[in-house]
Amino acid sequence: MGPETRAAPIGIFDSGLGGLTVVRAIRQALPHEDLVYLGDTARVPYGTRSAHTVLRYAQTCGEHLRQRGVKLLVVACNTVSAVALPMLRVELDIPVLGVVGPGARAGVAAAKGKRLGVLATPGTVASGAYSRAVAAEDPRVEVFAQAAPLLVPLAEEGWVSGQVPELVAARYLEPLFDAKVGALVLGCTHYPVLIDVIREQVARRCGPDVPVVDSAHALASELSELLRERELSNASTGPGRLRVLVTDRPSDFSAVARRFLGAELEESPVEAVDL
């Protein structure tokens, strides 16, 4: 690849701000890459919408980032990854990486042959995408997927500890405890913000040896691999810049973003875009 393409940013999008948990993992793994993050805050949540609607939203987000000249697209939303990845790969002329494949692979490794629990949005669960991705990796591993839509507003509200998230998490996890899963994948980008509560519930009911997998780290390491393979890594040794685009309420962004990103948003202002 030419130096111009290698220096171009990586595009990342999610239905809202949850994908910033993925941005965080990518920045740790690839500190020299420039990133453009698009959060579709005007249309979040995607996880309770029909596959047809999610496809339409995914198309506009992907096309917007492609027009901004990104060298590769990361679909940081599990729901979009579950239903729209093949369409985006056909329509866009850049590599497209989703979060379900890396999450499933990390889950299979963590489950060590036992059943694998997946906590995700209703859309992701209905798509069967995790079951397919796990079967492709190891057909012996059985998947138990549970929809947990109320965890999304709790994460956005910052209700990430105490009785309310504990009760909600415990209720959603119940069927997975009954299925005696050997590991749990957080199949939604919002859930890592609640990982302490989820881990505690899992440890209480299943014991301390059942790992909780955040697919963001698995995605970041597969992304590093892909950049190397395609000769797309940025040759710069300076710190990469993060640019943030949202489709609604840019002024609310900073406080919520801190929760998901685990850091200040540096100098980069948040830009509102109309899709």
Best CA proximity match to 117, nearest among 80, 137, 142: 142
* 124 binds ligand DGL per the rule CB under 6 A: yes
* 41 binds ligand DGL per the rule CB under 6 A: no
Residue from 25, 61, 70, 78 in contact with ligand DGL (CB under 6 A): 78
**Whose Cβ is closer to ligand DGL: residue 8's or residue 145's?**
145
77 in active site: yes
Handedness of CA 189, 267, 158, 203 (dihedral sign): positive
C-alpha to C-alpha distance for 210 and 184, rounded to whole angstroms? 7
Residue from 13, 15, 71, 84 in contact with ligand DGL (CB under 6 A): 15
Name the residue number minimizing CB distance to ligand DGL.
47
* Beta strand extents in 125-211 (DSSP E only): 143-147, 183-187
Within its chain, how far is the Cα of 68 from the centroid? 21
* 190 binds ligand DGL per the rule CB under 6 A: yes
Stretch that binds ligand DGL, among 39-47, 105-113, 168-176, 251-259 (CB under 6 A): 39-47
* 62 binds ligand DGL per the rule CB under 6 A: no
Neighbours of 251 (CB within 10 A): 9
C-alpha to C-alpha distance for 21 and 16, rounded to whole angstroms? 11
* 152 binds ligand DGL per the rule CB under 6 A: yes
Q: Which one of the listed residues 77, 96, 148, 151 is annotated catalytic?
A: 77
Q: For the chain, how long is the longest CA-to-CA vector?
A: 54
206 in active site: no
* 45 binds ligand DGL per the rule CB under 6 A: yes
* 21 binds ligand DGL per the rule CB under 6 A: no
- Environment class of residue 197 by beta-carbon count within 10 Å: exposed (0-12), middle (13-18) or buried (19+)? buried
x/- binding map, residues 216-255, to ligand DGL, per CB under 6 A?
----------------------------------------
Q: Which one of the listed residues 188, 206, 212, 220 is annotated catalytic?
A: 188
Residue from 20, 25, 70, 77 in contact with ligand DGL (CB under 6 A): 77
Please work out, in degrees rounded to the nearest 5, the angle formed at the alpha carbon of residue 51 by the alpha carbons of 45 and 57: 55
Compute CA distances 123 → 119, 151, 168, 189, whole Å. Answer: 12, 14, 19, 13
Residue from 10, 44, 72, 97 in contact with ligand DGL (CB under 6 A): 44
CB of 46 to ligand DGL, least distance (A): 4
Handedness of CA 112, 212, 78, 231 (dihedral sign): negative
Q: Which residues in this chain contact ligand DGL in the complex, by CB under 6 A?
A: 14-16, 18, 44-47, 77-79, 121, 124, 152, 188-190
Catalytic residues: 77, 188
